[in-house]
Amino acid sequence: MAKVKNAYVCTECGAEHGQWQGQCVACKEWNTLSKISLGSAASPAAKPDFRKQGYAGTTSGVQDLSDIDLESVPRVSTTISELDRVLGGGLVPGSAILIGGNPGAGKSTLLLQVMCLLAQSTSALYVTGEESLQQVGMRARRLGLPEKNLKMLAETNVEKICQVAQQEQPKLLVVDSIQVMHSADIASAPGSVSQVRECAAYLIQYAKQTNTILFLVGHVTKDGNLAGPKVLEHMIDCFLMLDGGSDSKYRTLRGQKNRFGAVNELGVFAMTEKGLKEVKNPSAIFLARTEEESAGSVVMVLWEGTRPLLVEIQALVDGTQLGNPRRLAVGLDQNRMAMLLAVLHRHGGVYMADQDVFVNVVGGVKVTETSADLALILAIISSFRDKALPHDMVVFGEVGLAGEIRPVPSGQERLYEAAKHGFKRAIVPKANVPKGGINGMTIVGVARLAEAIDAVAEV
C-alpha cells in the first residue's frame, strides 16, 4: 500500500513544514500549524489532469517565440465596455481573473450581469458558495437579466465543482467566493491560508488545462487589502479591485494586475436598481460643481490607464486650535501632502505651521500619480488666501523638492480632454505646453513653484 504524504502548513503565513512543531519558523507564530494530506507517494492523483477528459487545453513542448500563433487566442468581449477596458480588451481563454472589493460594492452583481449576458451565446457556469440558488435567482429577476442558458451550482467543495464542470464543459466559470471554498485534502477551515491557496491552485489548474475563463470573487480585510495569502495574487492573471462606499452610487473598477493589458486602468460604474451601469464619460460626473466659485477648489487632469480623467480637488485651510496642526488627506497620500507643504514654505514663502490643512478629492477617486502636486498646492493657497480660482481653469504638474515643476506624461492629451469639457485656461509645466497651442485655451507654462503662485495671483 502506498504511503500517504503529509505536510504541516501555517494558517497565518502559509509556510510549509515537514513535521509538526510549536512555532512557525517563517512568521514566528505559535500553534498555527495544521496538517494537510498531499496524496499518495506512488500516485500523482492528488490533482487530476483534466486534459484526459477530452479537452484541448495547453500542450507542452519547446517552440520558437516567433512561431507562436497568437491568432488562436482571440479575446471574448464581456458586452460591458468599461469592464473590457480594464481587462485590456476582453477576456482571454484560459485566464484566471480575481475580483475583490468591500462588502456591498457589487462584485456578485457585476459578474451575474456578465454571465447572464454571455450565457446567451456561450456555455457558462455560475458557482455560488455564499448564497442559495433562490437568492441568486431573485437578484437576476430584480435586475431584469436574461435567465435562460446560465447553469447554476451551489457548492463549496472544489473537487465537486470541477467534477460538475467536466460534465458541463463551460467556457466561463464563476466561483463566488474563493474564501468559502474548501478541499477535502486539507484539514483547516475554509478561509484559512492553506485552504484559499490550495483551492485557488486547483481551480486555476482546471482553467489552464481546459481553456476555461475563470472568475474568482475575493474578500478584503478591514484595511482594504485582499484577504488570504499574498501568493493568491501571484497565481491569477488579472486582479481587479471594485471600490465604492455605501454612501455613493458610483463604483470604480481598477486593474491592479493584468498579464494581458495595462495596469491601473480605470472603469467607472453607477449602481442603479437595474444593476451596475457603465459610465461613458466619468469626467462629467466628477466635475458636477456649483456655479458659484469658491476658494480652495481647482480641477486637475489625471491619467488613468489609457485615458485622461478630470477631477476636482478641494482644500480647506484654517487656524489650528491645538498645539499640533492637523493634516488630513482623503483620496491623496497624506505623507506627500506634508512634503508639499514643506516645499511650499521653503520655495513659495507660504507659512502653514499654524494652520490645519484638509484636502479631499471629490467623487471618492484615489489619486496615486504625482501630476496632482501642483493642483494640490494651488488649492491650498487658494483656501489660505480666501481667493477663488476661475471655474474654467485646469492645473496639473509634478512638484520637486527644489521647487521645480516637472513635466508629466501625456500632457497634450490631458489638455485636449480639458478643452473638450469647456476649460479655457491651464497652468501646466513648461515642458508640457504644446508648440502650436490649443484653440480657445490660454496655457501658462511654469518652471518653478514661484511662477505658478504668481500666475494664480494674476487671474
- pLDDT, one tens digit per residue, over 152-161 is 999 999 999 9
- The identity of residue 423, as a single letter, is F
Which three cell numbers mark 202?
A: 486547483
Pairing of strands 213-218, 172-176: parallel
Which three cell numbers mark 4?
A: 500517504
Among 112-116, 229-233, 270-274, 342-346, the range scoring the smallest mean pLDDT is 229-233
The count of residues in the chain is 459
Q: How far apart are CA 386 and CA 383, in angstroms?
A: 5
Tell me 189's DSSP state. P
Contacts of 52 (CB under 8 A, 6+ apart): none
pLDDT tens digit sequence for 328-353: 999 999 999 999 999 999 999 999 98
Q: pTM, whole model, 2 decimals?
A: 0.77
Q: How far apart are CA 447 and CA 33, in angstroms?
A: 58
Backbone phi, psi, residue 341, to 5°: -65, -35
pLDDT(51) > 70? no
pLDDT tens digit sequence for 206-216: 999 999 999 99
Q: Is residue 42 very low, low, confident or very high in pLDDT (cuts 50, 70, 90)?
A: very low
Backbone phi, psi, residue 445, to 5°: -95, 130
Helix (H, G, I), strand (E, B) or coil at 315: strand
Domain ranges of the chain: 1-42, 78-280, 285-458
Is there a contact between 209 and 57 (Cβ–Cβ < 8 Å)?
yes
Is there a contact between 366 and 253 (Cβ–Cβ < 8 Å)?
no
| pLDDT confidence of residue 236 | 94
Dihedral angle computed from the Cα positions of residues 97, 191, 37 and 207, in that order, rounded to the nearest 10 degrees: -10
Q: How far apart are CA 93 and CA 378, in angstroms?
A: 48
Is there a contact between 427 and 452 (Cβ–Cβ < 8 Å)?
yes
Residue 222 CB burial class (10 angstroms; 0-12, 13-18, ≥19): exposed
Tell whether domain 285-458 is in CATH 3.30.230.10: yes
Q: Which parts of 84-212 are beta strand (E)?
A: 96-101, 124-128, 150-154, 172-176
Where helices occur in 307-372 by DSSP H, the ranges are: 334-348
* Long-range residue pairs from 249-253, CB within 8 A, at least 24 positions apart, any chain: 250/279, 250/285, 250/363, 250/364, 251/105, 251/106, 251/276, 252/364, 252/365, 253/82, 253/83, 253/86, 253/110
The residues facing 276 across adjacent strands are 271
CATH topology for 78-280? Rossmann fold (3.40.50)
pLDDT(399) > 90? yes
